[in-house]
Structure 1
Amino acid sequence: MPPERAVASSDDIIDNIVAIRDRWHTKRHPMFRELAKGDLDLSARGIYMAKYGNFVKFSIQEFAAMIKLVVLSKRPTC
């Protein structure tokens, strides 16, 4: 018989999620700190914008593909 495991309360789970979010939040990244202070140079901002633009373009395409799969999977078959 396997040992009994303690069940985490929803408050514990929420606290763990918040702690992880706070640890990895973008506000802690050096680039975003420099941006917030107004000290990030133009070339760094340009590189970030180009990479972020590519990310958004790719994400939109992938989310559209996932939505299409979900919609097609819910169609009744004859």
Structure 2
Amino acid sequence: MMCEKEMADAYITDMVADVTECREDYSGRGKIFIWHCLLASFQQVYSVCAYVLIVILHTRSYVYTHILVFVYS
């Protein structure tokens, strides 16, 4: 379980770094680029929520995890 928690923490850290880098790349270029960064951050948050749900289900049931992976892929 600790290994899965470390993987989730690393994934969230990468997500924050990606959003920060996106914001720095598009700073000063207009509102459309700000919306692009917001959309990217929402997609990353959705991915993190799906990943955390998969980790939780994996500890509960092997079958449910594979059903969830199939649905999200």
- TM over 0.5, shorter chain: no
The TM-score with structure 1 as length reference comes to 0.41
Instruction: Point out the structure with max Rg over C-alpha.
Output: 1
- Identify the structure with bigger relative contact order (alpha carbons < 8 Å, sequence gap 6+): 2
- Identify, as 1 or 2, the structure richer in helix: 2
The TM-score with structure 2 as length reference comes to 0.43
